[in-house]
Amino acid sequence: MSAEELRSHEETAAVRFRCGVGMAILDGCGRVLTFERADAPGSFQLPQGGMEDDESPIGTMWRELGEETGLSDAHVAVVAEVPEWLGYELPPVARSNKTGRGQVQKWFILRAVGDDLPIVVGDGGNAEFRSWRWSHLSELADQVVPFRRPVYRRLAAFVAALEADPPPGADPPPVGSRA
């Protein structure tokens, strides 16, 4: 890469935020499905991914859900969409032409349908995740890398509000309920 190409790369990465989506997959016990990063053992996060030029946020969500977890609409149901786009700025060392300066994301709250999800992680050499577990979103918000914490805290507050006032016709019962 020439010096001019490097400068162009750095300038692009310094100003652009990548559009994407994120998913919080809930169970019936008030927990969220979290995934351990393949490149950072011990570091868990929620599934997320970038939008392609011709995709809608919901279309991106279904594609990324399948790519990152092996799940589909047969395994989860959409409960809610966070009304605002949430974003974070990456540390300079983590910026690239792909990621830009950070990400702005449309977040979806999903509910697992059933107890035995056919989750697939670590499939192939480019796998983003190596394992998964159920966690409490409020705890995850305190454990993720610092630049993601405001987004995860907003998600935790949003999910808590859903629990307090579920959408009409919510099925199965609200988060944390055992009815």
pLDDT tens readout for residues 20-65 = 999 999 998 889 999 999 888 889 999 999 999 899 999 999 999 9
Question: Which pLDDT belongs to residue 172?
Answer: 45
> Residue 8 — pLDDT band, cuts 50, 70, 90?
low
**With the CA atoms of 71, 77, 82 and 83 taken in that order, what torsion angle do they form, in degrees rounded to the nearest 10?**
130
**Does residue 66 belong to any structural domain of this protein?**
yes
- For position 24, which CATH number holds? 3.90.79.10
What is the domain count for the chain?
Answer: 1
Mean pLDDT (whole number) for 115-121? 88
Full residue range of the structural domain in which residue 149 is found? 3-114+127-164
**Does residue 170 belong to any structural domain of this protein?**
no
**Does residue 121 belong to any structural domain of this protein?**
no
**Does residue 84 belong to any structural domain of this protein?**
yes
**Does residue 71 belong to any structural domain of this protein?**
yes
* Short-list 44, 60, 53, CA closest to 136: 44
Pairing of strands 17-26, 129-135: unpaired
